[in-house]
Structure formats: structure tokens, C-alpha cells
């Protein structure tokens, strides 16, 4: 019996496989993150030429802070991302709960229609939104939202909320329906059981979905390019217009700021997720 508890010694092939896997992972990580690291590094370059390092400086971030057009574009992107995230989380959660709980005619078709924006190329979504707002529904741009933010927000919501639906449905698959039934037996109504039992369980998925929707909206270029009006410029579109002339360290600085905001939102979402999971698993 002692033989079964004896630890097997690692052979040369085991060590070779382990080191080859580590080297492969290191190579993949280097391939993915080395361009981002070089972008961050050259945002501090004391030269307009991004291919040659001439010194360390913060001047490009100072010019970025004094660029009114770029700050206006960044404000537009944050506003659209906030609106898109709010509506995407609400619509995505409602769609996920409806598909998870109820049976109704055309459920399969409804499920397929929700996931369609995920698989359709963005260029097709952008052209479709351009035709929709320009031909089928031309009135909102002049009457409802003179700043053109509404058209972009609707397009981003249409593109983002299916991702929230997928994330929330995956979380609902692990929900024990008997907990909700027990709450109903104890006198809780439909809305009270939903608020006190179901929503705490899916809160980590809601945070993940909100983070995903915010990130998709903040850095989207293709759909925004087709739906934005002449008076509305978002941050990715502004960076693209700057890159068309030349790639200067100011472009690198703007990209670094956008990347830092995305990473900060990701860390915040992961922290909130961990706190919710720990709270739900606590006795």
C-alpha cells in the first residue's frame, strides 16, 4: 500500500516538456505585449520620429492635455461609452433572464437574432447603421440629438448588449432554481425574489458585461466611423485622423492613456467580481 502513496519522480522528458511549455508561453506573451510596451516607451520619446529614441520627456503628455480637439473627442467617447454600458447591461440582463426562464414561440429565432451582432463583421454593422440612420430613419439626427451622440450610442448598444446577454446566461446556468422557489414559498413576490436572490447571483456577470460593453464602446472605430456625423468625433476616430498624417509621440501618448483607462477599468471590474464571489460563497 505504501507504493500507492509514493510520489513519482520526474524524468528528463517531463522536465523537457515543462520547459518547452514555459518557453512557448513566454514567446506568445512577448509577441502579444512587446508592441504595447514599445508604444508606451516611445510615448516618452523626446523626438517627433517614433523610430529613433533621443531622450525621455513628458512633453507629449503636456501637449495632449492642451489639445482641446482631442479632449473633446475623449469626452464624447466617455459619454457614449457610459450611455452604451448602462443600456447594454439592462437590455442584456433582461434578454438573458427571459431566454433562461421562459418558453415562448420563436424563442430560437429570438436567441439567434440576439447573437447575430456578435458574428456579423463590424464593417457590415457599420454600413447597416449608416443606411438605417441616413435613409430609413433620418429624423433623429436633427430633432432628437443635435450633437449626433445618440446615433452612435444606439449603434454601440446594438453591438454591445448581446455580449452582456451571453455572459449573464453563462452565469445563470449555475443558478439553483430551488433558492428562488424557497424565497417564493417564504412570501417573496416575483420582483423581490428577482432582486434578493437572482440578481446577487448574477452580479459578477453584470460587472463583467458592463466592463466588456464599456471597453467595446470606448475603443470602437468601424461602427463609429459610419454612424458619426460631421460635428461629432470620438477618441478612436480622432487618433485615426492623426495617424493618417504621421505617427508622432502624441499619438502614442493618446493611445497609452486610452490603454491605461481600459486596464484600470479591467482591474476595477476584477476587484468587484472577486468581492461579489467571496460574499456569495461566504457561509
pLDDT digits (tens, 9 = 90+) for 188-205: 666 667 676 777 778 888
Q: Which CATH number fits domain 66-280: 2.40.50.140, 3.30.70.890, 1.10.3720.10, 3.20.20.140?
A: 1.10.3720.10
**Residue 119 C-beta-side C-alpha neighbours within 13 Å:** 6
What's residue 87's pLDDT?
93
**Tens digit of pLDDT for each residue in 241-268?**
877 766 677 788 888 888 888 788 778 7
Share of the chain above pLDDT 70, in %: 75
Strands (E), the chain: none
Nearest partner of 142 among 203, 231, 62, judged by Cα: 231
> Domain segments of the chain: what residues?
66-280
| Predicted confidence (pLDDT) at residue 124 exceeds the cutoff of 90 | no
* Distance from C-alpha of 188 to C-alpha of 196, rounded to nearest angstrom: 9
What's residue 146's pLDDT?
43
| Predicted confidence (pLDDT) at residue 207 exceeds the cutoff of 60 | yes
C-alpha 125: how far from chain center = 17
Nearest partner of 162 among 201, 215, 126, 113, judged by Cα: 113
Nearest partner of 99 among 90, 108, 91, 86, judged by Cα: 108
| Predicted confidence (pLDDT) at residue 235 exceeds the cutoff of 60 | yes
* Distance from C-alpha of 3 to C-alpha of 90, rounded to nearest angstrom: 58
pTM above 0.85, yes or no: no
- Grade residue 85 by pLDDT with cuts at 50, 70 and 90: very high
* Distance from C-alpha of 256 to C-alpha of 252, rounded to nearest angstrom: 6
- Grade residue 238 by pLDDT with cuts at 50, 70 and 90: confident
53 SS3 class = coil
Amino acid at each position: 500500500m505504501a507504493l500507492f502513496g509514493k510520489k513519482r519522480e520526474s524524468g528528463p522528458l517531463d522536465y523537457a516538456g515543462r520547459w518547452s511549455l514555459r518557453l512557448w508561453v513566454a514567446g506568445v506573451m512577448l509577441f502579444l505585449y512587446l508592441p504595447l510596451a514599445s508604444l508606451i516607451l516611445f510615448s516618452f520619446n523626446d523626438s517627433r520620429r517614433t523610430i529613433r529614441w533621443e531622450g525621455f520627456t513628458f512633453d507629449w503628455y503636456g501637449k495632449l492635455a492642451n489639445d482641446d480637439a482631442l479632449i473633446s473627442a475623449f469626452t464624447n467617447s466617455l459619454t457614449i461609452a457610459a450611455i452604451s454600458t448602462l443600456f447594454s447591461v439592462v437590455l442584456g440582463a433582461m434578454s438573458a433572464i427571459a431566454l433562461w426562464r421562459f418558453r415562448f414561440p420563436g424563442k430560437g429565432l429570438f436567441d439567434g437574432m440576439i447573437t447575430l451582432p456578435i458574428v456579423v463583421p463590424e464593417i457590415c454593422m457599420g454600413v447597416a447603421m449608416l443606411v438605417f440612420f441616413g435613409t430609413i430613419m433620418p429624423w433623429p439626427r436633427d430633432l432628437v440629438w443635435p450633437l449626433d451622440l445618440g446615433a452612435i450610442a444606439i449603434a454601440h448598444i446594438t453591438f454591445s448588449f448581446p455580449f452582456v446577454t451571453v455572459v449573464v446566461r453563462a452565469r445563470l446556468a449555475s443558478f439553483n432554481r430551488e433558492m428562488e422557489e424557497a424565497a417564493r414559498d417564504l412570501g417573496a413576490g416575483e420582483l423581490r425574489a428577482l432582486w434578493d436572490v437572482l440578481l446577487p447571483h448574477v452580479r459578477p456577470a453584470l460587472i463583467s458585461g458592463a466592463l466588456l460593453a464599456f471597453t467595446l464602446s470606448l475603443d470602437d472605430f468601424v461602427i463609429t466611423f459610419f454612424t458619426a456625423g460631421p460635428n461629432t468625433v470620438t477618441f478612436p476616430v480622432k487618433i485615426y485622423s492623426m495617424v493618417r498624417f504621421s505617427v508622432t509621440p502624441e499619438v502614442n501618448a493618446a493611445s497609452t492613456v486610452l490603454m491605461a483607462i481600459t486596464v484600470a477599468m479591467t482591474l476595477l471590474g476584477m476587484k468587484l467580481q472577486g468581492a461579489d464571489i467571496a460574499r456569495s460563497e461566504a457561509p
